[in-house]
């Protein structure tokens, strides 16, 4: 037996198997069983190592193929079905995809995740659709929306006219999802509705519904969100559904927004179990703990609510994205406002009115630098985000295909609108 073979046998024995797993016929099922045991024991590092070992051993040419049940990334089944170009770079790209996903899900080294996700922007090789997809989501979760949009533009510029209909559908959905995290939530919800009414790949249907429901809830269109779930048979038990965690989180959001807190808690808890079974500790992926904490608070379960909120804040601080931290602090401060565990009633006497009290709003605003300012135009917002990311004016001009003078003019307008002096002032602004 080779040294590599001995190491693999030791790994499976360490994972709890009585015998080494033999045969490469269907390694995913066997490794999945071992992975579940490791996760249940809290042995996250070894679980991640098992997935990386499987990747190296089998050298699958399609990113995420075979791993949809081992690691979590929204749209995993869709990515598994994409045809690759068969180039000599495909194998390396498969490993890069897996590396970004695992680093993202660990939720620790945000700077490293951003570096890995941004790599295609400076690479001389044309990135594949899976690399683009994973990179865009990772950058968005890290709070780097400008880079996420730049990566999307790269995909559209290089594949928009020549890509397959499946690839174009994926890019359109991803573009709308990124927009839903910015100022254009209503427009994003409309774009997703149009995508749903068109011809979309079967592997994307459940994810499209989930993201459309989330965008509709954010836009206050609760009836539309409820109708979507019912129309696609996602309003009941979910069995063997692609992107089940995304669906559960979106459905939980609808329940929370409409005062059905018991149902919301159940969906968030089920979502969390799925994520933990795939070693996802990053609250930016799906902040299920913070939302479950709010449900628990209204249901008068103070110990559970406090525990969930505390875990959410700790994980959010570890990740370091201020948007994620704000969500966790919202839940934590809401719960902390009532030390006796009694939920507050809103002006209508409804226990569902969980809002920040003024003192916590002040703390959160101070932490995140929230300020009132004149709205920025889309070009101004784009320049601002790139400047906040540390790019020089010349780099921003090249990225946006404009002159350096145009960049300077837009930044000057931004400084005046926000009431800040220079780039240092931009870093203190939380919302644009």
Alpha carbon separation from 145 to 5, 114, 151, 183, 230 (Å, rounded): 43, 11, 10, 11, 32
280-325 tens-digit pLDDT: 999 999 999 999 999 999 899 999 999 999 899 999 999 988 888 8
CA 181 – CA 177 distance, rounded (Å)? 7
* CA nearest neighbour of 141 among 173, 168, 103: 103
User: In this predicted structure, what is the pLDDT of residue 107?
Assistant: 92
DSSP for 254-320, written as a single string: HHHHTT-HHHHHHHHHHHHHHHHHTT---TTT--HHHHHHHHHHHTT-HHHHHHHHHHHHHHHHHH-
Task: Find the mean pLDDT for residues 32-59.
Answer: 58
The domains located in the chain, with CATH, are 378-426 (1.10.10.10)
Residue 6 is predicted with a pLDDT of 38
pLDDT by residue (tens digit) across 228-250?
A: 999 999 999 998 899 999 999 99
pLDDT of residue 402 exceeding 80, the answer is yes
Which residue would you say has higher pLDDT here, 272 or 240? 272
Comparison of pLDDT for 379 and 348, the residue scoring more: 379
Mean pLDDT taken over the chain: 76
Angle (nearest 5°) at CA 203 between 272 and 280 = 25
Q: What local confidence, expressed as pLDDT, does residue 1 receive? A: 42
**Residue 98: band (very low, low, confident or very high) from pLDDT cuts 50, 70, 90:** confident
pLDDT in tens, 124-145: 777 888 889 999 999 999 999 9
Q: Which residue has the higher pLDDT, 42 or 174?
A: 174
pLDDT one-digit tens code per residue, 182-237: 767 778 888 998 998 888 888 999 999 999 999 888 888 889 999 999 999 999 99
Q: What is the pLDDT of residue 148?
A: 93
CA Rg, the chain, in Å? 22
**In whole angstroms, what is the distance from residue 152 CA to residue 182 CA?**
15
pLDDT given at position 44: 54
CA distance linking residue 46 with residue 61, whole number of Å: 24
Share of the chain above pLDDT 70, in %: 68
Q: At CA 286, angle to CA 128 and CA 50, rounded to 5?
A: 60
Q: 406: pLDDT confidence band, cut at 50, 70 and 90?
A: very high
Query: Are the C-beta atoms of 355 and 348 separated by less than 8 Å?
Result: no
Question: What pLDDT does 23 receive?
Answer: 40
Position 366 scores a pLDDT of 46
CA distances from 291 to 6, 27, 196, 301 (A): 45, 36, 27, 14
**What is the Cα–Cα distance from 382 to 405, expressed in whole angstroms?**
15
């Amino acid at each position: 037996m080779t040294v590599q073979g001995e190491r693999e046998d030791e790994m499976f024995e360490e994972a709890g198997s009585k015998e080494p797993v033999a045969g490469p016929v269907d390694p995913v099922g066997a490794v999945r069983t071992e992975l579940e045991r490791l996760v249940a024991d809290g042995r996250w590092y070894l679980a991640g190592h098992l997935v990386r070992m499987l990747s190296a051993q089998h050298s699958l040419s399609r990113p995420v193929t075979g791993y949809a049940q081992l690691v979590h990334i929204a749209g995993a089944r869709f990515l598994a079905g994409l045809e690759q170009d068969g180039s000599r770079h495909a194998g390396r790209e498969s490993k890069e995809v897996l590396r970004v996903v695992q680093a993202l899900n660990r939720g620790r080294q945000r700077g490293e995740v951003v570096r890995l996700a941004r790599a295609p922007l400076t690479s001389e090789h044309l990135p594949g659709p899976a690399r683009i997809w994973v990179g865009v989501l990772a950058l968005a979760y890290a709070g780097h929306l400008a880079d996420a949009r730049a990566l999307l533009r790269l995909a559209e510029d290089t594949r928009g006219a020549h890509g397959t209909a499946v690839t174009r559908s994926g890019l359109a959905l991803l573009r709308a999802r990124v927009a839903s995290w910015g100022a254009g939530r209503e427009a994003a919800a409309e774009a997703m509705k149009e995508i749903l009414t068109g011809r979309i790949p079967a592997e994307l249907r459940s994810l499209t519904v989930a993201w459309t429901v989330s965008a509709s809830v954010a836009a206050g269109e609760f009836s539309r969100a409820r109708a979507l779930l019912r129309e696609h048979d996602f309003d009941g038990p979910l069995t063997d559904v692609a992107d089940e965690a995304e669906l559960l989180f979106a459905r939980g959001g609808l329940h929370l927004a409409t005062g059905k807190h018991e149902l919301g808690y159940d969906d968030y808890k089920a979502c969390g179990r799925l994520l933990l079974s795939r070693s996802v500790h990053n609250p930016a992926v799906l902040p299920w703990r913070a939302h479950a904490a709010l449900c628990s608070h209204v249901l008068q379960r103070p110990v559970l609510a406090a525990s969930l909120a505390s875990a959410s804040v700790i994980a959010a601080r570890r990740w370091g994205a201020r948007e994620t931290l704000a969500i966790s602090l919202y839940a934590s401060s809401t719960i902390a406002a009532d030390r006796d565990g009694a939920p507050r009633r809103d002006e209508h006497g409804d226990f569902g009115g969980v809002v920040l009290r003024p003192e916590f709003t002040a703390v959160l605003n101070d932490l995140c630098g929230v300020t009132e300012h004149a709205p920025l135009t889309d070009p101004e917002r784009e320049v601002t985000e790139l400047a906040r990311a540390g790019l020089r004016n010349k780099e921003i001009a090249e990225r946006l295909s404009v002159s350096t003078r145009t960049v300077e003019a837009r930044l000057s307008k931004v400084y005046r609108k926000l009431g800040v002096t220079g780039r240092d002032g931009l870093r203190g602004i939380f919302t644009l």
